[in-house]
Amino acid sequence: MRVFILLVLSVTVVTSESWSIVPSFKSFFKEQSDNVKTFYNDAVNKKDAVDNYIEEQQQVIQNNIINYIDDIAVTARSLVDSSTYHPDVDPSSMLENPDTVLSVPGIITRHGYICETHTVISQGYVLNIHRIPRSKYGRKKPSKTVLLQHGLFASSADWIINGPGKGLAYVLADAGYDVWMSNIRGNRYSKDHVWFKTDSENYWDFSWHEVALYDVPAVIDYILKIKGKDTKITYIGHSMGTTILFAMLSLRPEYNDILSAGFALAPVVFLSDMKSPLKSMAPIASNLAYIDGLQGTYEFIPKNSALGKISSTCNGENMDSLICKNIVFYLCGFNERQFNKTLLPVFLAHLGTGTSWKTAVHFSQEILSGKFQKFDYGFLNNWRVYGAGSPPEYDLSKVTAPIKLFWSKNDLLSSEKDVRELYNKLPSKPEMFLVPDEKFNHLDYLWAIDAPRLLNQEILNSLQTYMSDYTFSIRF
Ligand SMILES: *[C@@H]1O[C@H](CO)[C@@H](O)[C@H](O)[C@H]1NC(C)=O
């Protein structure tokens, strides 16, 4: 554009002077046109220089803006991080259901029930026990006490995820029970320790054995202290919660008299007939735990562990990949008909709790040995720990409390054969209840759409049977 204007000016100069210097017109014109040409070339070079300069400046300005925005973002993020809890979930799902971000007491309270948190110290582990002391309908204080014990990778959230009217904790509270829900050491509600750092090897040196030997007895003692020493408690465990029940009653037989009954939902005691992919993983679980240990990770399946990485290799955002991403669905099976999809974000948000490498290896040992036995430290160390080359079995003949086994046909972890073996080894010849749904699986106990019809009614009926034989001393 500038070049064009200069050309017009040159032509004007030529015209005005052409009268006086006509002979030299040709040379003049040539000179002028050469000048124009030079100027033109010069201008072109200048234009490139200007363009380059502007481009450079634009880049600098752009970089400055980007850095500026980055700085603001970092500053803002660090400010927000210092005061906000960031759950590991898609933010859009938060808006649909606040249960994805709320803790267990928050969810229970949101639904209009009272939730108390009681703290019990066991071997330095700070255990937080959640309690729904009564129904939200009516103010009558219940006298009968139920203790709910969750399974592997889980928490007290298991008993409330299905919501009021379906989740067992609400159902029991509404039916007039005082509901206590323990959280085992190492899970998100019982993570603190009085003297160990939570990422230390010592902290994670436990399996369900220590939970059964120390923690659940400590929780029961605490409940007796609060409610009176004659209080009778019905223990309801799911999955590893049943492992803990039978280990506790064999290691601490005095607790047989405190429990009015023990209900085992999806019993996990003998595991030799397990159908889950966990069975084929059992031989490598020790190695994975070992690799994690070498890297200084003693929590099993936290996000950065070897297995955590394996479980996060699925891509995509659809339902299948969500399930694929979740190791627990992979291990326990998935029953589309009984699973309420709107609960998936809630379930995923509450699952992110690991366990110890020792728990994982202990379960692997049960799968491989087919025995319900203590942790196998290897021949030489077993001599040191147990005074024998192989670990002792838990003595199920000591389990004298009334027991009821709830089992289902489609349970990948708790097969009919293994449940029958448990039944045969229990001296009291427990009651058996087969959940009347062919497809019912290991995790449906927690959130089945038809839980009221398939499970809850049976639990309520059984509680009435087992707890009505006692007179209760009510002390609050
Ligand atoms: C699924 O869960 C949502 C949220 O708790 C609930 O509103 C809905 O009724 C449930 N659907 C079924 C089929 O139970």
- Tell me the pairing of strands 125-132 and 116-122: antiparallel
Site to probe by mutation for ligand 1, drawn from 170, 339, 342, 343 as the one with most ligand atoms within 8 Å of Cβ, is 342
163 lines ligand 1 (CB under 6 A): yes
- Among 239, 414, 415, 462, the active-site one is 239
**Is 350 a residue of the active site?**
no
Name the pLDDT band for 47 (thresholds 50, 70, 90).
low
CA 52 / ligand 1 centre spacing (Å):
62
Residue pair 305/292 in contact (Cβ under 8 Å)? The answer is yes
Q: Is 75 in the pocket of ligand 1 (CB under 6 A)?
A: no
The CA 8 to ligand 1 mean position distance, Å, reads 80
- For ligand 1, atom 6, the nearest C-alpha belongs to 342
CA dist list (Å): 294 to 232, 289, 407, 435, 470: 45, 9, 38, 43, 53
pLDDT of residue 143: 81
Ligand 1 centroid, distance to 323 Cα (angstroms): 19
Counting Cβ atoms within 10 Å, is residue 147 exposed (0-12), middle (13-18) or buried (19+)? buried
340 confidence band (pLDDT: 50, 70, 90): confident
CA 406 to chain centre: 25
Q: Given pLDDT bands bounded at 50, 70 and 90, which one contains residue 468?
A: confident
**What confidence score (pLDDT) does residue 18 get?**
40
| pLDDT confidence of residue 88 | 53
pLDDT at 40 over 70: no
What average pLDDT does the segment 189-215 reach?
A: 93
As a whole-number percent, the residues of the chain with pLDDT over 70 amount to 67
Catalytic residue among 130, 150, 209, 442: 442
Q: Is 337 in the pocket of ligand 1 (CB under 6 A)?
A: no
Q: Which of 34-43, 111-120, 417-426, 456-465 has the lowest mean pLDDT?
A: 34-43
Local confidence band at 276 (pLDDT 50, 70, 90 cut-offs): confident
**Dihedral sign for Cα atoms in the order 159, 165, 171, 176:** positive
Ligand 1 centroid from CA 349, angstroms: 17
* Dist CA 455 CA 462 (whole Å): 11
Q: What is the pLDDT of residue 346?
A: 77
pLDDT value, residue 304: 47
Would you call 362 a catalytic residue per the annotation? Answer: no
* pLDDT at residue 49 tops 90: no
Q: How far apart are CA 214 and CA 121, in angstroms?
A: 10
Residues whose CB falls within 8 Å of the CB of residue 213, separated by 6 or more in sequence, listed in order: 247, 248, 251, 252
What is the pLDDT at residue 293? 62
Atom of ligand 1 nearest to the CA of 99: 5
198 compared with 145, residue with greater pLDDT: 145
Lookup: tokens for 407: 């089992």
**Residue ranges of domains in the chain, CATH in brackets:** 83-475 (3.40.50.1820)
Which pTM does this prediction carry?
0.76
pLDDT band of residue 377 (cuts 50, 70, 90) is: confident
- The whole-angstrom separation of Cα 115 and Cα 109 is 6
What value does the mean pLDDT take over residues 177-195? 94
Say how far apart CA 88 and CA 354 lie, in whole Å.
Answer: 14
